[in-house]
Amino acid sequence: MPQEKSLHMNHRQRMRKRFAQQGGFSGFAEHEVLEYILYLAIPRKDTNPLAHRLIERFGSLCQVLEASEADILTVEGAGPAVARLLTTMHAANRYYSQNRARAPRAFQDLEEVAAYLIPQFYGAVTEQVYVLFLDDRNCPIKLQKVTEGTVNEAAMARTQIARLAVQCHATQAVLAHNHPAGAALPSPSDIQFTRELANALASLGIRFLDHIIVDKEGDYISLQQSGRMPAVEPTLMQGVAGSKEKALEQGKKENHGSV
């Protein structure tokens, strides 16, 4: 037993030296990365067998980190400390990605907008819908998570988006949602919702700049840049005066009546 313990310690020392020399996990196999991470939760035992079991159970290192605590606990040898460590790492990575992609004082183009919005969907396993509100100088005013669910389910949020745009005095808006289980291609319901929202915002004098769809890998498509952005109905621009005041008044009534 002492000899086995010595072998584990020497192995860890070699792994740590390798990590330090390479400045990270470059050249590490997937199971070795997980094995190294598990040192933080399992200070003395060999973590190699558990790393293999976790990857075998979930399919990849990414899927291990995306697993819930309850699912991780079903793997032999994975106790509460391991489950907390792995789920905390995933949450920290998500926070890091979002924090790193801070909004600039003013966006220069739609690519810059997309680069800011994509990290909001890091690790998301369900569809989420965000709206970025801007002023007329392309400066961000507010990023709002509107709903979680499919975009066609978010149709009920159309009025909410319009009201929020008015309340924060936005003159422009960008919609973004993710396809966690499919390609970043717009469905018919995505296009329909985009058309309806564009018309609703146009009636308030607010420009709907783009709808960005992001897949699980972080690839995206811009409806504006791909020529899929539906045209706003010209007649909806008539009678814009007073529309914003009506939307605000409706919002006040609903807020007054809420618990």
Query: How confident is the chain (259 residues) per 10-residue block, as mean pLDDT?
Result: 56 91 91 95 92 96 93 96 95 82 85 93 88 95 84 65 93 94 90 92 94 92 93 50 47 44
Let me know how many helices (H) and strands (E) the chain has, helices first. 10, 5
B/e letters for 140-159, b = 16+ CB within 10 Å, e = fewer, are bbbbbebbeebbeebeebbe
Contact 121, 106 (CB under 8 A): no
Packing angle between helix 188-202 and helix 158-167, nearest 10 degrees? 40
Residue with tokens 């996990």: 25
Q: Which two tokens stand for residue 194?
A: 């985009």
CA pseudo-torsion sign 77, 31, 52, 180: positive
Query: Exposed, middle or buried: residue 201 (CB in 10 Å: 0-12, 13-18, 19+)?
Result: buried
- In this prediction, residue 150 carries a pLDDT of 57
Distance from the Cα of residue 119 to its chain's centroid: 5
- In this prediction, residue 9 carries a pLDDT of 64
Record the pTM: 0.67
Which residue from 46, 84, 39, 48 is spatially nearest to 65, judged by alpha carbons? 84
- In this prediction, residue 235 carries a pLDDT of 43
Report the 10 Å Cβ neighbour count for 110. Answer: 15
- In this prediction, residue 158 carries a pLDDT of 84
- In this prediction, residue 147 carries a pLDDT of 82
